[in-house]
């Protein structure tokens, strides 16, 4: 179980880096939840139920974020075109 949690914490850390690289401030709520999940996974005795709940929240947030991403990118492009970036 400890090895699984170490792998999970490492995967979460990788996800955090990718989110930061791709989205920055726009994804601060997802990042906050992932930081919470990583902290729980890194505990000596992580609470599996709490971790599953946090990751379920992350999953739902990411689904919503992914669905809105094309619109967000379009808004960013338009803002750059008119000098609002």
Average pLDDT of span 46-68:
90
Instruction: Give this prediction's pTM.
Output: 0.68
Average pLDDT of span 3-29:
83
User: With helix as H, strand as E and coil as C, how does the chain read?
Assistant: CHHHHHHHHHHHHHHHHHHHHHCHHHHHHHHHHHHHHHHHHCCCCCCHHHHHHHHHHHHHHHHHHHHHHHHHHHHHHHHHHCCCC
> Rounded to an integer, what distance in angstroms lies between the CA atom of residue 23 and that of residue 11?
18
Average pLDDT of span 7-16:
88
pLDDT tops 80 at residue 21: no
pLDDT at res. 54: 95
Selection from 23, 6, 36, 33 nearest residue 65 by Cα: 23
How many residues are listed for the chain in this entry?
85
């Amino acid at each position: 179980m400890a090895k699984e949690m170490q792998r999970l914490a490492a995967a979460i850390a990788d996800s955090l880096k990718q989110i930061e690289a791709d989205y920055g401030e726009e994804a601060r709520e997802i990042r906050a939840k992932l930081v919470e999940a990583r902290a729980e996974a890194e505990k000596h005795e992580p609470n599996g139920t709490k971790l599953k709940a946090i990751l379920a929240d992350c999953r739902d947030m990411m689904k919503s974020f992914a669905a809105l991403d094309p619109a967000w990118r379009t808004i960013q492009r338009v803002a750059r075109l008119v000098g609002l970036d």
